[in-house]
């Protein structure tokens, strides 16, 4: 607090001024602390030594830019710059200096700065001035000044993470806080949620709409509102009530994701065949949330590529991420990880430094008969469309013949109803609120409870009740069961080193991804065919045999001590090394009639 009130004077300067104020003799720091309150007002007027005639803080403007006086002391000069940045759209985003900038069509994006881009940004906001004294005449004059030293830019980059407001993201719909408050004024930063509201299309500007958001609506009215929202989607061939409820849960997540505590799962808009409407449902998500097409990105095949994509997406602060036309199994460990992370940390491409970006996005994927693997059975929500028609795209006679036009036209009305429904639930005393009865998992407890509770409140049943179908889509269990059963068949309970398993799979040579077989002989026929596809794909991208063994060991560690069809993979480690570890299969017999299964 003291440093802030004395305009970035160094601690040594503060101590010297205090001691001069109280006595000519040297004092201990503890002796003068009691007098700090009496001299704060005076200290606030102290100017850096050698610059007594120059303002110590930015003074005035010139051509719309704030004047900042140069100082040879970097902490004073840099402190003045930081003060200017605090009054402009600069924030600390993921620990990096960032600026909110408009792009096309009134859309706003987060741009992070380095020393080079910061120099250009200074030119837009600041007019630097310096006072020069003629040594012969003693006269002074004021001139424009351009900071050339890189250290001043590095100073500002490092200090802004401490003094600038923290930004978690940009939202283009009003900020709905869990307290029941709504931030509807455009270009507003909310300190509680650390979000910046910058709508590309104005929302809720009419006075009667603003008044509606302040009033408490009844539960019956909330039920009527959810029916009016559902009217736009009821002609889609949802498989069951669970898929209907889950899609409404996705729509509610669009407005609640930025502020809901905890994490949000991956939504799967899955269709039994093409032309059934999954693309329109996915498009509607983007149109309602953004007021425009959200765009999509292909699902990467390799996890390393997925990791890079996640970093670039979150660096831009994108609120919505859509993987379209998914044809590859969703198994990526990095995607599974980001779904359970508040902040995504990874290495900056081409650098040794680390990035740390907030994750406030809603992640969803669409495709025909999507398959999942890894941990996605506990991280995914299924929205399933089915049709028995051979050419479902030929259907006619819809109640809403032009669905895209209707959604675009009624976007604000749909959003308003979703807000009013949620506010009605939030404004109920917490002890009286209904909460969701189905829990997706520990890390999604808040999301499951809140979204499920709102849907229960408006009479929508079935939320998350089709999770058994998600488990059926998880081919991981079947894949590993086949692999471990074959392992048992050829090795029984013999202990093997990783080099032995690699040799049985690939014949003692690195896997050839193009030929999809090992070059050298000696492999056990059929064993390689049972290895899960996603593991095989990753191994195929690795050239060196030693790295392949490490990769294989890493995947096997994820299924250690799990029962797959009666086969349990065991491991004993020596010297904390997977290379020297023993691996074997423990076979559990099926329980006889009248017996309980082993734990």
Q: Are residues 500 and 458 in the same domain?
A: no
Q: Please, are residues 121 and 160 in contact by the beta-carbon 8 Å criterion?
A: no
With a pLDDT cut of 70, the percent of the chain lying above it is: 83
pLDDT digits (tens, 9 = 90+) for 525-539: 889 888 888 788 888
Q: What is the mean pLDDT of residues 410-428?
A: 96
Q: Could you give the 3-state DSSP secondary structure of residue 188?
A: strand
Instruction: Categorize the per-residue pLDDT at 373 as very low, low, confident or very high, splitting at 50, 70 and 90.
Output: confident
Q: Are residues 36 and 60 in the same domain?
A: no
Instruction: Categorize the per-residue pLDDT at 473 as very low, low, confident or very high, splitting at 50, 70 and 90.
Output: low
Strands (E) in 134-277, as ranges, are 140-144, 169-171, 175-176, 182-183, 188-190, 195-197, 266-271
pLDDT digits (tens, 9 = 90+) for 130-161: 888 887 787 888 888 888 777 888 888 887 77
Instruction: Categorize the per-residue pLDDT at 598 as very low, low, confident or very high, splitting at 50, 70 and 90.
Output: very low
Closest CA to 425 of 254, 256, 570: 256
Instruction: Categorize the per-residue pLDDT at 16 as very low, low, confident or very high, splitting at 50, 70 and 90.
Output: low
**Gap between the Cα atoms of 259 and 197, Å rounded:** 13
Q: Are residues 157 and 229 in the same domain?
A: no
pLDDT at 3: 40
Instruction: Categorize the per-residue pLDDT at 163 as very low, low, confident or very high, splitting at 50, 70 and 90.
Output: confident
pLDDT at 27: 54
Q: What is the mean pLDDT of residues 551-565?
A: 85
Q: Are residues 307 and 455 in the same domain?
A: yes
**Gap between the Cα atoms of 79 and 160, Å rounded:** 10
pLDDT digits (tens, 9 = 90+) for 272-313: 888 899 999 999 999 999 888 877 889 998 888 999 999 888
Q: Are residues 355 and 454 in the same domain?
A: yes
DSSP letter for 100, please.
E
For residue 349, give the CATH number of its domain. 3.40.50.300
For residue 572, give the CATH number of its domain. 1.10.10
Q: Could you give the 3-state DSSP secondary structure of residue 339?
A: coil
Closest CA to 383 of 279, 297, 257: 279
How many domains are contained in the chain? 4
More confident residue, 431 or 471: 431
Q: Are residues 385 and 463 in the same domain?
A: yes
pLDDT at 6: 43
Domain holding 4, by residue range, is 1-46
pLDDT at 123: 83
Closest CA to 317 of 196, 474, 449: 196
Closest CA to 427 of 457, 460, 456: 457
Q: Are residues 217 and 363 in the same domain?
A: yes
pLDDT at 33: 57
Q: Given phi > 0 = left and psi -120 to 50 = alpha, else beta, which region is 199?
A: beta
**Gap between the Cα atoms of 97 and 237, Å rounded:** 47
**Gap between the Cα atoms of 524 and 506, Å rounded:** 8
Q: Given phi > 0 = left and psi -120 to 50 = alpha, else beta, which region is 374?
A: left
188-190 vs 195-197, strand pairing mode? antiparallel
More confident residue, 417 or 291: 417
Give the helix/strand (H/E) hosting 65.
strand 65-69
- DSSP assignments along 109-163, one per residue: EEEE--HHHHHHHHHHHEEEEEEEE-TTT--EEEEE-----HHHHHHHHHHHHHH
Per-chain mean pLDDT for the chain: 82
Of 12, 29, 46, the one marking the end of a domain is 46
362-368 vs 320-323, strand pairing mode? parallel
């Amino acid at each position: 607090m003291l440093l802030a009130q004395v305009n970035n004077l160094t601690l040594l300067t503060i101590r010297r001024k205090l001691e001069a104020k109280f006595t000519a003799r040297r004092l201990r720091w503890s002796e003068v602390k009691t007098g700090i309150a009496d001299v704060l007002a005076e200290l606030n007027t102290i100017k850096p030594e050698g610059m007594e005639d120059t303002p110590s803080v930015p003074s005035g403007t010139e051509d719309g830019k704030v004047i900042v006086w140069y100082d040879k002391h970097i902490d004073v000069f840099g402190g003045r710059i930081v003060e200017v940045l605090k009054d402009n759209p600069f924030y600390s985003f993921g620990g990096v200096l960032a600026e909110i900038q408009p792009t096309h069509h009134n859309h706003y994006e987060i741009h992070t700065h380095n020393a080079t881009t910061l120099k250009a940004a200074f030119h837009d906001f600041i007019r630097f001035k310096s006072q020069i004294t003629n040594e012969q005449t003693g006269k002074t004059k004021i001139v424009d000044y351009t900071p050339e030293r890189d250290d001043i830019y590095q100073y500002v980059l490092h200090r802004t993470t401490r003094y600038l407001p923290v930004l978690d993201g940009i939202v283009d719909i009003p900020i709905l806080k869990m307290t029941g408050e709504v931030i509807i004024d455009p270009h507003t930063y909310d300190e509680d949620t650390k979000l910046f509201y910058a709508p590309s299309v104005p929302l809720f500007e009419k006075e009667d709409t603003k008044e509606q958001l302040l009033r408490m609506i009844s539960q019956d009215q909330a039920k009527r509102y959810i029916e009016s929202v559902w009217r736009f989607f009821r002609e889609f061939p949802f498989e069951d009530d669970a898929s209907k409820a889950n899609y409404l849960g996705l729509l509610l997540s669009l407005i609640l994701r930025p502020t809901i505590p905890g994490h949000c799962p991956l939504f799967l808009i899955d269709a039994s065949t093409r032309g059934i409407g999954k693309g329109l449902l996915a498009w509607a998500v983007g149109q309602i949330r953004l007021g425009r097409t959200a765009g999509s990105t292909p699902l990467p095949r390799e996890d390393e590529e997925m990791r890079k994509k996640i970093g670039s997406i979150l660096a831009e602060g994108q609120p919505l991420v859509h993987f379209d036309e998914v044809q590859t199994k969703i198994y990526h460990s990095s995607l599974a990880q980001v779904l359970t992370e508040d902040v995504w940390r990874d290495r900056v491409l081409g650098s040794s430094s680390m990035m740390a970006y907030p994750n406030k996005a809603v992640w969803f994927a669409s495709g025909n008969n999507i398959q999942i693997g890894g941990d996605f059975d506990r991280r995914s929500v299924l929205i399933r469309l089915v049709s028995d028609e051979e050419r479902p795209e030929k259907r006619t006679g819809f109640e809403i013949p032009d669905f895209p036009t209707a959604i675009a036209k009624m976007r604000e009305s749909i959003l308003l109803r979703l807000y009013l429904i949620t506010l009605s639930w939030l404004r109920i005393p917490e002890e009286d609120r209904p909460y969701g009865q189905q829990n997706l998992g520990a890390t999604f407890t808040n999301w499951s409870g809140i979204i499920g509770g709102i849907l229960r409140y408006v009479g929508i049943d079935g939320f998350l009740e089709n999770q058994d179908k998600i488990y059926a889509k998880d081919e991981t269990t079947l894949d590993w069961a086949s692999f471990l059963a074959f392992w048992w068949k050829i090795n029984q309970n013999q202990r093997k080193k990783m080099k032995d398993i690699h040799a049985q799979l690939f014949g003692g040579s690195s896997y050839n991804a193009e030929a999809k077989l090992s070059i050298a002989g000696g492999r056990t026929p059929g064993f390689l065919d049972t290895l899960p596809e996603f593991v095989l794909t990753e191994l195929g991208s690795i050239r060196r045999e030693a790295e392949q063994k490490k990769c294989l060991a890493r995947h096997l560690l994820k299924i250690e001590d799990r029962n797959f069809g009666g086969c349990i993979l065991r491991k004993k480690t020596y010297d904390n090394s997977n290379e020297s570890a023993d691996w074997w299969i423990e076979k559990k017999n099926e329980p006889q009639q009248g017996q309980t299964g082993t734990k």
